[in-house]
């Protein structure tokens, strides 16, 4: 139950768990709680609670409100209670040093970048694969049947779920025509793709149509069988049936880095 719901119950003169309610209070109020509230025990765990002044309820109402930004959230003692209003992306492209990614800064005013985006983008989950982006582009060309080189594709480090900030996804959707996602072949990667797909409907999960040549790469044991089943279900949901079949056959997951073992960079 949230602080706001406890305050609603107090205003409605309903019984509440006072011990649980105290945990939601700021330290300065919690330490002097009985000077702010009168408590009448009805049962060992439930009490009628009434404020000693209307000011305390107004103060707590302000605290219980949803933070409008990260700074506001930090003033309430929980900076993670709100997302940041800016994002940073590392991007390999053909405009500068091929061995050093460019930086894109995105905020509510737009994006600040020093290159012209291509129509295609490849989002790479892991740093190792991102550093070897040429190998990933080679795989992308092989799997999609198109000539995807750095001259036609920007490569962005997605860093797991960090790519799924709304401000980032909105910029990617507005900037690129074709969006490919090279994520881990496990439940985590598929869940990250599901979140991204809920915003960018046209996103494509990058995977081969035939997994037989990658059979030796399914080496990661699922923590539980339930996670394996959920991964199979998500693969089917997102129209990646060959991956679901590979999960079923090997009963294992595949980490993205294993792809690099079989690709030579030019």
Tell whether the model's pLDDT for residue 97 goes beyond 80. yes
Tell whether the model's pLDDT for residue 2 goes beyond 60. yes
CA distances from 101 to 56, 206, 251 (A): 52, 21, 37
**Most distant pair of Cα atoms in the chain: their distance:** 76
Give the burial class of 192: count Cβ atoms within 10 A of its Cβ; 0-12 exposed, 13-18 middle, 19 or more buried: buried
Tell whether the model's pLDDT for residue 71 goes beyond 70. no
Q: How confident is the model at residue 53 (pLDDT cuts 50, 70, 90)?
A: confident
Tell whether the model's pLDDT for residue 135 goes beyond 70. yes
Q: Which residues make Cβ contacts (< 8 Å) with residue 253, sequence separation at least 6? A: 184, 185, 186, 187, 218, 220, 221, 222, 228, 231, 247
Q: Give the chain's mean pLDDT.
A: 89
One-character DSSP codes across 170-207: HHHHHH-SEEEEE--BSHHHHHHHHHHHTT-TT-EE--
Percentage of residues in the chain having pLDDT higher than 90: 64
Strands 204-205 and 178-182, how do they pair?
parallel
Could you tell me which CATH number the domain at 86-262 has?
A: 3.40.1360.10
Domain ranges of the chain: 3-81, 86-262
Q: Compute the 3-state secondary structure of the chain and give helix, strand, coil in percent, each to the nearest 5.
A: 45, 20, 35
- Reported as a single tens digit per residue, the pLDDT across 159-215 is 988 899 989 999 999 999 999 999 999 999 999 999 999 999 999 999 999 999 999
Token pair of 51 as six digits? 């404020």
């Amino acid at each position: 139950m949230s602080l706001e719901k406890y305050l609603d119950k107090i205003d409605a003169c309903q019984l509440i768990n006072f011990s649980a309610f105290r945990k939601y209070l700021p330290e300065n109020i919690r330490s002097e709680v009985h000077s702010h509230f009168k408590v009448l025990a009805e049962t060992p765990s439930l009490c009628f609670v009434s404020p000693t002044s209307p000011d305390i309820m107004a103060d707590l109402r302000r605290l219980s409100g949803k933070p409008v930004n990260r700074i506001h959230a930090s003033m309430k003692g929980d900076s993670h209670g709100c997302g940041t209003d800016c994002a940073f992306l590392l991007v390999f492209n053909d405009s500068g040093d091929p061995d050093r990614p460019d930086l894109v800064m995105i905020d509510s005013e737009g994006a600040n970048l020093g290159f012209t985006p291509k129509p295609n983008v490849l989002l790479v989950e892991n740093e190792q694969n991102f550093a070897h982006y040429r190998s990933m582009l080679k795989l992308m060309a092989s799997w999609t049947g198109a000539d995807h080189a750095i001259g036609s594709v920007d490569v962005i480090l997605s860093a797991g779920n960090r790519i799924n900030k709304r401000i980032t996804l909105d910029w990617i959707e507005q900037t690129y025509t074709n969006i490919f996602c090279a994520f881990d072949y496990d439940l985590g990667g598929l869940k990250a793709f599901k979140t991204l797909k809920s915003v960018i409907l046209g996103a494509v999960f990058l995977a081969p149509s035939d997994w037989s040549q990658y059979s030796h790469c399914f080496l990661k044991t699922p923590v539980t069988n339930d996670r394996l089943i959920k991964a199979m279900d998500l693969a089917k949901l997102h129209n990646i049936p060959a991956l679901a079949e590979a999960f079923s056959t090997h009963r294992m997951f595949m980490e993205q880095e294993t792809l690099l073992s079989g690709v030579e960079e030019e």
